[in-house]
Structure 1
Amino acid sequence: MEYKQFKYVLKIAELGNLTKAAEELYITQPSLSHYIARVEEEMGTQLFDRSTNPLTLTPAGEHYCETARMILKLDAKLRKDVSDIAENKVGTLLLGMSHARAAYFLPYIFPPFLERYPRMEIRTKEQRSSLLEEYVAQGSCDLAVMPLPLSGKYTLKAESVMKEELLLVSGKALPHHVREDGRPYVNFEVLNGQQFTLLHPGHGVRMALDAIFMEHEVHPGHVFETTSNEVAYRLSTAGVGIAIVPESTILLSAAVERPYMYSLTERGLFWHIAAVYRDENYLTEPQRYLIELMKTQFMRAEHRQQGDGTVA
């Protein structure tokens, strides 16, 4: 789409002189005169009053130029929009994560992401981990942020963006030891027979803890189930059982009473939070940037944590 006729008419209107306009347009004056005469014939009216010096626009010419400017402006916008879409600078990124993780992650990653991609829209789907895997596999989410390991039901790629400690929270003191850095910790045998507040099956923390309890032969007493780490944390601080929650939950949630907090074993118990996607070859530039942004932002949190224990 060139719109030469608009550019030619606008240039003559700007300069008021055919010869000068022809020079700036890099064509001969007779060619330009012939071109304008043909445009006027197509329009059925004169666009320029040739009795004046410099040339002036007729009322029809004024309207023609006003419309021509609008069309050229829309054309420029169209070209930029198509170019931005082709370069993945415009569009929608569908991001899946749990509600609690969204509360922790999004304030850190949204501002720098939108500063770099102001015309990108991020839409979140906040669901438990088992559903997020399905969403990514089916294409309902471009990326999901969730704990490892994955279930193995789908062929997905995962990149760790954060290592986070799982802490035991109790409303009462438990038999414990103290590490050299001063942090108290409990061993798994202390957990046997304890009343727990745990997330429902299917949630990331619950799947991880079920595997840990089986590996270390932990047999909880009564278990109260909830859908929220925050609820589990606040109940434990009120003295209703004990909870094992991610450190981010503690940072975001208000305790009912000041709780006792312990690492699990001297090394601590950690899990990896990962960005999960279908195929690296289909990651767009904004999606790749978001993953790298998460790695950068949450590296500080990882450095604050102690120990090397990892959820198996």
Structure 2
Amino acid sequence: MELKQLEYMIQIAEDNNITRAAEKLFITQSALNQQLLKLENELGTQLFVRSRNNWHLTQAGAIYVENAKRILLIKKETYNKINDLLEIKEGTLKIGLTPERGTDMFAAIYPGFYNKYPKVRIEPLEMTVKEQQHAISQGNLDIGFVTLQPAQKTKDAYIPICSEEIILCVPRTHPLSHLGGRLGEPLPEISLTHFAEDSFAVMRKGSTLREIYDDLLAEDDISPPILLETRSCQTLFEMVAEGICCSVLPISYASSRSNVSFFSLPQHPVWEIAASYKKDSYLTQAAKELIALCTEYWERKMSELR
């Protein structure tokens, strides 16, 4: 059994198309097809049901690909453990970053990581939390840096980094803004029911923050009008700062240098910032260092808001 052959079959299965798989593997389609036919002849059965635009695994193919991933993971972990034992600081880390905040964090911590592990190549991938969780479960991601609630956790491993409060932000022009507070001070508490008729800027459906927002509305039995849906928490805050609408967002996106009043909510919603990886898989020293740097980053970030 050749390890390259395992990689080939996995790529075809992931793309459901031999042409796209060949392009990603940097080999010709005919060469990849020959490898597939050779393997199928060896096994005595087809691994894929062929169609023009959509290949899919047969029952035998599903068994083969599932175990091919396990074999490659064992190989990877074996090399990682030996490299750590011999203090060989080389390799590759595929990490998942949430849009916006994840990339900002990575830009801040990477210089420190590079100083310690200059020969470890990092492949940062901007992905939603659910996309990261799927990639981790498939063995396609070494670490995911995610923000989520406990109910959203999968069976994979999670290392808590910190928790972050979700707060209400309203323009200073709002009639109730005088009741609000400023960052760095204990925030006054107020119910969203007082803002049931106000327009809100919210995250798009499918995001962790949108799930938190929808749960808050359901608990208060209200449905404020939605002015804007976006993928950017920074955009949410800017909309409030411009006096256009209200919003519920993580406290780290708030700025004291703005025309915004801040409130705590009675439910005291928070989300957890965590590092996630496949359960029972081996975390290299380089991976642990990256997580440590991420933890330091968020500890500084949160202390600045207190």
TM (normalized to structure 2)?
0.62
Match of 2:286, SS state, is: helix
Is 1:130 aligned to residue 130 of structure 2? Answer: yes
Query: CA contact under 8 A between 2:169 and 2:263: conserved in structure 1?
Result: no
* Structure (1 or 2) with the larger CA radius of gyration: 1
Q: Decide which of 195, 198, 202 is 1:191's aligned counterpart.
A: 195
Is 1:292 aligned to residue 284 of structure 2? Answer: no
The AA in structure 2 aligned to 1:226 is: T
CA distance 1:266–1:104, shift in 2 (3 Å): farther
- In the TM superposition, 1:1-312 aligns within 5 A as 87=87, 89-149=89-149, 152=152, 154-171=154-171, 172-175=173-176, 177=179, 181=185, 183-250=187-254, 258-265=258-265, 269-305=269-305
Query: CA contact under 8 A between 1:96 and 1:126: conserved in structure 2?
Result: yes
CA distance 1:305–1:83, shift in 2 (3 Å): closer
Shift of 1:151: 5.8
User: RMSD in angstroms over aligned alpha carbons?
Assistant: 3.1
CA distance 1:264–1:174, shift in 2 (3 Å): farther
Match of 1:286, SS state, is: helix
The AA in structure 1 aligned to 2:101 is: R
CA distance 1:104–1:230, shift in 2 (3 Å): same
Match of 2:113, SS state, is: helix
CA distance 1:87–1:216, shift in 2 (3 Å): farther
Shift of 1:131: 1.5
Query: CA contact under 8 A between 2:202 and 2:226: conserved in structure 1?
Result: no
Shift of 1:161: 1.0
Shift of 1:174: 4.6
Moved more, 120-129 or 233-242: 233-242
Shift of 1:94: 1.1
> 1: CA distance between counterparts of 2:244 and 2:284?
46
* 2:62 match: none
> 2: CA distance between counterparts of 1:228 and 1:119?
33
> 2: CA distance between counterparts of 1:267 and 1:222?
21
> 1: CA distance between counterparts of 2:271 and 2:125?
22
Structure 1: gaps spanning 5 or more residues: 1-81, 307-312
* 2:58 match: none
The AA in structure 1 aligned to 2:90 is: V
Shift of 1:120: 1.0
* 1:45 match: none
CA distance 1:224–1:85, shift in 2 (3 Å): farther
The AA in structure 2 aligned to 1:215 is: E
The AA in structure 2 aligned to 1:175 is: L
Q: Deviations over 1:11-32 (max 9, x none)?
A: xxxxxxxxxxxxxxxxxxxxxx
Query: CA contact under 8 A between 1:158 and 1:274: conserved in structure 2?
Result: yes
The AA in structure 2 aligned to 1:287 is: A
* 1:30 match: none
> 2: CA distance between counterparts of 1:146 and 1:158?
9
Counting matched residue pairs gives 221
Q: Give the % identical residues.
A: 22
> 1: CA distance between counterparts of 2:141 and 2:115?
22
Match of 1:145, SS state, is: strand
Query: CA contact under 8 A between 1:146 and 1:204: conserved in structure 2?
Result: no
Query: CA contact under 8 A between 1:90 and 1:120: conserved in structure 2?
Result: yes
TM (normalized to structure 1)?
0.61
